[in-house]
Copies of this chain bind each other. A is one copy, B any other.
Amino acid sequence: MRAVSTLGFALMALLTRGPATGYQLAQRMRAPIGHFWTANHSQIYPELARLTEAGHVRVREAAGRGPRTNKTYTLSAAGRRALADWLISPPTPQPRSEVVLKAYAVSGAEPDRMAELFHAVAEQAAATRADWLRELVDMERAGADDIDHQQFGNYAALRMGTESQRVLQEWAAWLAAALHAKAGRGEAAP
Contact = CB atoms under 8 A, between A and B. Distances in A.
B182 A9 contact: no
Contact of A36 (B33, B104, B121): B104
A121 B94 CA distance: 14
Interface string A151-190: 0111011011101101100110011001101100000000
A150 B87 contact: no
A144 to B, nearest CB: 12
Contacts of A88: 109-110, 113-114, 116-117
A38 interface: yes
Given A6-B98, A100-B36, A179-B147, A107 B16 contact: yes
Given A36-B100, A91-B99, A147-B179, A16 B120 contact: no
A34 interface: yes
A112 to B, nearest CB: 10
Interface of A: 6, 9-10, 12-13, 16, 32-38, 80, 83-85, 87-111, 113-114, 116-117, 120-121, 147-148, 150, 152-154, 156-157, 159-161, 163-164, 166-167, 170-171, 174-175, 178-179, 181-182
